[in-house]
Amino acid sequence: MNGGLLVAGTTSDAGKSVVTAGICRWLVRQGVKVAPFKAQNMSLNSFVTREGAEIGRAQAMQAQACRVEPTAHMNPVLLKPGGERSSQVVLLGRPVGEMSARGYHGGRQERLLGTVLDSLAELRGTYDAVICEGAGSPAEINLRRTDIVNMGIARGARLPVLVVGDIDRGGVFASFFGTVALLAPEDQALVAGYLVNKFRGDVSLLEPGLEMLHGLTGRRTYGVLPFRHGLGIDEEDGLRVSLRGTVRESVVAPPVGEDVLRVAVCAVPLMSNFTDVDALAAEPGVVVRFVDRPEELADADLVIVPGTRGTVRALQWLRERGLADALARRAAEQRPVLGICGGFQLLGEHIEDDVESRAGHVDGLGLLPVRVRFAREKTLTRPVGEALGERVEGYEIHHGVAEVVGGEPFLDGCRVGQTWGTHWHGSLESDGFRRAFLREVAAAAGRRFVPAPDTSFAALREEQLDRLGDLIEHHADTDALWRLIESGAPQGLPFIPPGAPA
């Protein structure tokens, strides 16, 4: 078998990432050696592979669904927004520079098509099947000429395309029809059909519409996936969604101790790797919310300042909103604060940044004895260490180099009293360390909170991935899906006018 499939969507956030992961897990359970692929990803949530390459976290999660190690070939182009109009371009796991959206779509993107097709060919030569994820919508006609992630890659590699639509948003039939009708004839010939996502209710009420859609477009629906809570793992883009007030979904289980533990995450601009707090939200009795006002820190037992692609900008934002003063008061009162990556950097004494913001010397919050200098070379590592008597694994993604000049050592960073800072992402996924850290936080906060003794974040992640695989297995036509992956799009699919404009 040398199969492939492109999972496209009618919109951003239609469910492409989780559907791709679900198909991957279903195939693995059938004994297929499978890999994920996304030619171009725009995300502030990234991961470091064992060879030291930076890729999107969604592709790392999909690799886990495939039960394989992630590699740079699974996400050859990663764009990390630095604002509304520019992004850092990461090529095959390494940053190659900043570029405006106009400059990228004006020619650079088109020249990368050969690179992404080579990466896809490398994977297809190694695995039985490669399940590819698109980006946004394939019907973005203003970008089709330079597209390398949707129909550009589908046509270049002759991949069949499955279009996912989020019915929870409404208008899914119009979205399916319009997506196909705005594609060129050569692209339409690769669109095999549809997959409905997040359906609530009686499927029999939907079936007449699916039959009419088949009659209108000549393309079938390969499944109707029901709505399920808690499947939004490893989100891609922290820019598109306002996280203010959002509460991360926690395990539906009562706290082990008498109290809950409240965690407030400062929703800083260009927030990156906010998935760091998922392991906390997985603990029974831990409530995690994102905040942007100082009064929202008042009842928090732990405040986290997360990573960001704009450390200096985030520092200014904290000061403008009064959050900087609130953090300083917490530190003085020995109330727990944790800074991760960019959040760690801005807790320090000062920052020299001629790389990210080009702001030069900037005073930090002065809560930790740390001096930060931004280097042009990005640090990409997978460190292993020990803290609070427990083994810890993590990963680092940063330009800022920290010189620690005091305090107690903590994961290559430091702590002073109840203010902690580290460059390590993912440290809270180490179960023993997370429990030890939460015990310290609870004691400092005066809470009678007790971490659950048996919460395994890795096991919970596996359960999530199995749930995705179950959705495909139980609610998709897997026989037809198998034929599509193995043999490609059906021949003779009709053209739906008007097609893409010239």
Identify the active-site residue in 66, 266, 341, 414: 341
Helix (H), strand (E) at residue 166: strand 161-166
Contact 36, 131 (CB under 8 A): yes
51 vs 33: CA distance, rounded Å: 21
Closest CA to 407 of 459, 344, 486, 475: 344
Contact 172, 10 (CB under 8 A): yes
Neighbours of 80 (CB within 10 A): 23
End-to-end CA distance of the chain: 37
Helix (H), strand (E) at residue 397: strand 396-404
Q: CA 487, 488, 489: angle at the middle one, nearest 5?
A: 130
Q: Is 266 annotated as catalytic?
A: no
Give 56-59's long-range contacts (Cβ < 8 A, gap of 24+).
56/236, 57/234, 57/236, 57/273, 57/275, 58/17, 58/133, 58/234, 58/235, 58/236, 59/133
- Locate 318 and state its tokens: 């904290």
Helix axes 457-475, 57-66, angle to 10 degrees: 70
Amino acid letter, 320: E
Contact 143, 105 (CB under 8 A): yes
For the stretch 385-405, what's the b/e string if a residue is b when 16 or more beta carbons lie within 10 angstroms of its beta carbon?
bebeeeebebbbbbbbebebe
Identify the active-site residue in 73, 399, 423, 425: 425
Q: Is 341 annotated as catalytic?
A: yes
Residue 500, beta-bridge partner list: none
Strand ranges (E), 405-451: 408-410, 413-416, 419-422
Closest CA to 348 of 326, 368, 363: 368
SS3 for 450-480 is CCCCCCCHHHHHHHHHHHHHHHHHHHECHHH
Amino acid letter, 442: A
Cis peptide before 269 (omega within 30 of 0): no
Contact 165, 9 (CB under 8 A): yes
As annotated, the active-site residues are 341, 425
